């Protein structure tokens, strides 16, 4: 079966089958993983090997929010990679220092420094450590209806039920009800009041 041959029903093409056999599927029972090969993307759309075209409302995992196959993005990546592809944190580049300066211009109050991370879950891990170091306190309160990532610390503060297999998680993390009326037996202000009792 060729890489581009359309699939029918639950049948996987060669690329999808190879992926299923050699790559862990996230948030899934591994026997039930059924990857879909993407063969093209442009702007807000992507196309599968079966020829199905989708409008990408989520920008994949919110990582392609400038669109797929954007020439300006590809050109900027190419230019930076040819100058310096990666540097350790104790070095800098013009691009990194300039981005830090621009972020300082738009952040509120006296916030003037940015911690750059490679993913959202890594940002959550850093936020937990920074909050604990700054306040000297250990408790981290998060919402039941929340998602903060899948590494050990970030999944500990995630409210998503997929976290249950990773519990008990890191010490000091507790969940609070959402101040959200829909589907809740609590008035939103009761939910807010309950947060104070968790301290």
Name the one residue in this structure whose structure tokens are 């621009």.
102
Q: How many DSSP H helices and E strands does the chain contain?
A: 7, 5
- Could you give the residue ranges of the DSSP H alpha helices within the chain? 14-22, 59-62, 71-83, 94-106, 120-135, 152-157, 188-197
Question: Chain-wide mean pLDDT for the chain?
Answer: 87
| Overall average pLDDT of the 73-83 stretch | 92
pTM of the model: 0.72
102 phi/psi in degrees, rounded to 5? -65, -35
Q: Are 61 and 55 in contact (CB under 8 A)?
A: no
Each residue of 133-170: pLDDT tens digit? 999 999 999 988 888 998 999 999 998 888 888 889 99
Q: Cα–Cα distance between 146 and 175 in angstroms, integer?
A: 10
């Amino acid at each position: 079966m060729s890489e581009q041959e359309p699939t029918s029903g639950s049948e996987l093409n060669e690329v999808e089958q190879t992926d299923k056999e050699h790559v862990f599927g996230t948030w899934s029972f591994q026997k039930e993983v059924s990857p879909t090969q993407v063969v093209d993307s442009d702007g807000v759309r992507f196309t599968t090997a079966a020829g199905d075209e989708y409008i990408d409302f989520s920008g994949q995992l919110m990582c392609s929010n400038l669109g797929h196959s954007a020439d300006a993005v590809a050109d900027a990546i190419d230019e930076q990679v040819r100058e310096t592809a990666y540097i350790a944190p104790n070095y800098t580049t013009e691009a990194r220092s300039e981005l830090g300066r621009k972020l300082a211009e738009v952040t509120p109050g006296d916030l003037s420094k940015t911690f750059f991370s490679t993913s959202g879950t890594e940002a959550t891990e850093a936020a937990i450590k920074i909050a604990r170091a700054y306040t000297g306190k250990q408790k981290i309160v998060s919402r039941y209806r929340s998602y903060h990532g899948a590494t050990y610390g970030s999944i500990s503060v995630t409210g998503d039920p997929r976290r249950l297999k990773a519990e008990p998680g890191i010490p000091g993390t507790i969940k609070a009800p959402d101040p959200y009326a829909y589907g809740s037996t609590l008035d939103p202000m009761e939910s807010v009041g309950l947060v104070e009792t968790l301290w």
